[in-house]
Chains A and B, each alone.
Chain A
Amino acid sequence: AQSVTQPDIHITVSEGASLELRCNYSYGATPYLFWYVQSPGQGLQLLLKYFSGDTLVQGIKGFEAEFKRSQSSFNLRKPSVHWSDAAEYFCAVGPGTASKLTFGTGTRLQVTL
């Protein structure tokens, strides 16, 4: 069965510092991978996705993620965090069918000024 692990429940970074949010997955074939962001009391917004091609993918708001098959990871990065990036971030894995998407439990990002 497919699964997603986000090992960090809560991360605090200073504004301007770099950020890396971890995502490890278990999947039997080449997965479709997603990162979503959720502001408090809001729905989820897609940051980026990977399903083939270049393993380094660029997303919105200056985020990027790298697919590493050997490590079963799809970590999210941003070189310089802004206070507005404070939110909860969800990694998801699936076979390319939305009804089979599995979400991680999320990482809450706090940004200090």
Chain B
Amino acid sequence: DGGITQSPKYLFRKEGQNVTLSCEQNLNHDAMYWYRQDPGQGLRLIYYSQIVNDFQKGDIAEGYSVSREKKESFPLTVTSAQKNPTAFYLCASSAHLPGLAGGTGELFFGEGSRLTVL
């Protein structure tokens, strides 16, 4: 089955440590996204990538970094510079690039990774 796989599902980090969240998709989608979700808030966009070896900052990129070396993979690193990293992180992909005919902005989501800073 095609889909998005996030790992690990749960992750604990000590203050001052960097951690990397994995996101892999086999939907053959060009665009991939990372969102952060906090209780009582909507989803906030951290980073997105429309093509391999290119990515753009979202609304809350500070303290995070990403890479896009393969179409299928879009890992997110939560660095020690992120002041409040405890959250639920969601990876998503979309089939169409902006401006292409048929694009609607529909997102397909992974099951999420919960990061807790101890």
Which A residues are within 8 Å of any B CB, using their own CB? 4, 9, 32, 34, 36, 41-46, 49, 51, 90, 94-106
16 CB < 8 A contacts A-B: A32-B105, A34-B105, A36-B109, A42-B111, A44-B92, A45-B109, A90-B42, A94-B105, A96-B105, A98-B33, A99-B31, A99-B45, A99-B48, A99-B50, A103-B43, A106-B42
Sample of 11 more A-B contacts, CB < 8 Å, known A34-B106, A97-B105? A32-B104, A36-B107, A42-B111, A43-B90, A44-B109, A49-B104, A96-B98, A98-B48, A99-B50, A102-B42, A104-B42
Q: What's the interface size class on B, roughly? A: 20 to 34
Give the residues in chain A near B94, CB-CB below 8 Å: 98
Contact of B41 among A4, A41, A45, A105 (CB under 8 A): A105
Within 1-58 of B, Cβ neighbours of A (below 8 Å) are at 4, 6, 31, 33, 40-43, 45, 48, 50, 56, 58
Q: Which residue of B lies closest to A106 (CB)?
A: B42
Which B residues are within 8 Å of any A CB, using their own CB? 4, 6, 31, 33, 40-43, 45, 48, 50, 56, 58, 90, 92, 94, 98-99, 103-112, 114
Q: Is the CB of A99 within 8 A of B33?
A: yes
Q: Is the CB of B105 within 8 A of A43?
A: no
Give the residues in chain B near A34, CB-CB below 8 Å: 105-106
Contact of B56 among A36, A96, A99 (CB under 8 A): A99
Contact of B42 among A4, A96, A100 (CB under 8 A): A4
With A51-B104, A103-B42 known as contacts, the answer to whether A41 contacts B112 (CB < 8 A) is: yes
Most chain B CB atoms below 10 A, which of A36, A98, A99 = A98
Q: Is the CB of B31 within 8 A of A98?
A: yes
Give the residues in chain A near B106, CB-CB below 8 Å: 34, 46, 49, 98
Q: Which residue of B lies closest to A94 (CB)?
A: B105
Report the bound CA distance from A45 to B111 in whole Å.
10
With A44-B107, A46-B106, A49-B106 known as contacts, the answer to whether A97 contacts B98 (CB < 8 A) is: yes
